[in-house]
């Protein structure tokens, strides 16, 4: 399965590849042959990058799950920062069930997303109102990324693990953890969107 919003990029890659393949065959040109092979490599990269595998999500109020594939690069002030490399799936998912109270998009620069000053980058923030309070999920564009795509709207009711958007070509996702939860991941851990538990409900909470 391919990510929603990937169609123009895949169409461009396939079209460029087909054009060079036709020209290289018609003109029997070595440079055009190489260009056709590069086009095929680009198409393969696009398919790999925009893949969106189905994942069985175990929904529970007792824990939060990762909103992104990638590596935990920082944990501070009850915020978990996840950096997505090119090989990671770039579709983001809801870490907790609730209602989208607010979506705020901000234009900005394109510093490497792993840097702390990347907070000035292009970003899209979801505020999910859950039974434990508001949870912020921030999509941050990276050096090459030029478009953050949102799949959700304000007032949407979303389930834990539901797709909420994606970032194209390298990026980072930050998620805040309510005080009702204990953070269970550490810096350097690899996580999967919709699968990896990043926080569990505190044992002393009254249900």
Strands (E), 132-180: 133-141, 148-150, 157-158, 163-167, 171-176
The structure's pTM equals: 0.77
The whole-number pLDDT of residue 144 equals 56
Distance from C-alpha of 98 to C-alpha of 116, rounded to nearest angstrom: 29
Distance from C-alpha of 78 to C-alpha of 49, rounded to nearest angstrom: 30
| Contact criterion met (CB below 8 Å) for 142 and 110 | yes
**Reported CATH class of domain 63-201:** mainly beta
Domain ranges of the chain: 7-49, 63-201
Q: For residue 136, count other CB atoms closer than 10 A to its CB.
A: 15
Residue-by-residue pLDDT tens, the chain, 207 positions: 756 666 665 666 667 677 767 776 777 777 776 777 677 776 666 666 667 888 999 999 999 999 999 999 999 999 999 998 878 888 999 999 999 999 998 886 555 444 554 566 788 999 999 999 999 999 988 655 457 888 899 999 999 999 999 887 668 899 999 999 999 999 999 999 999 999 999 875 544
The whole-number pLDDT of residue 34 equals 73
Q: Which residues contact 121 (CB under 8 A, 6 or more apart)?
A: 108, 109, 110, 111, 113, 140, 141, 142
The whole-number pLDDT of residue 5 equals 64
Distance from C-alpha of 5 to C-alpha of 15, rounded to nearest angstrom: 17
The whole-number pLDDT of residue 18 equals 74
The whole-number pLDDT of residue 117 equals 46
The whole-number pLDDT of residue 113 equals 46
| Contact criterion met (CB below 8 Å) for 196 and 66 | yes
The whole-number pLDDT of residue 3 equals 60
Residues with active-site annotation: 171
Our separate counts of H helices and E strands in the chain read 2, 14
């Amino acid at each position: 399965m391919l990510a929603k919003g990937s169609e123009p990029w895949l169409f461009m890659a396939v079209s460029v590849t087909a054009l060079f393949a036709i020209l290289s065959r018609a003109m029997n040109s070595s440079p055009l042959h190489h260009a056709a092979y590069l086009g095929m490599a680009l198409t393969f990269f696009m398919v790999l990058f925009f893949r969106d595998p189905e994942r069985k999500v175990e929904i529970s109020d007792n824990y939060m799950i990762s909103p992104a594939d990638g590596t935990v690069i920082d944990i501070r002030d009850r915020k978990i920062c996840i950096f997505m490399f090119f090989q990671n799936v770039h579709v983001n998912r809801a870490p907790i069930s609730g209602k989208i109270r607010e979506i705020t998009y901000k234009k900005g620069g394109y510093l490497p997303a792993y840097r702390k000053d990347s907070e000035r980058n292009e970003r899209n923030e979801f505020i999910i109102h859950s039974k434990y309070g508001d949870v912020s999920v921030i999509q941050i564009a990276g050096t090459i990324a030029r478009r953050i795509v949102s799949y959700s709207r304000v007032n949407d009711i979303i389930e834990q693990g539901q797709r909420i958007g994606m970032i194209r070509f390298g990026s980072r996702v930050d998620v805040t953890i309510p005080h009702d939860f204990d953070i269970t991941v550490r810096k350097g851990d690899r996580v999967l969107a919709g699968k990896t538990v990043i926080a569990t409900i505190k044992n002393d909470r009254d249900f």
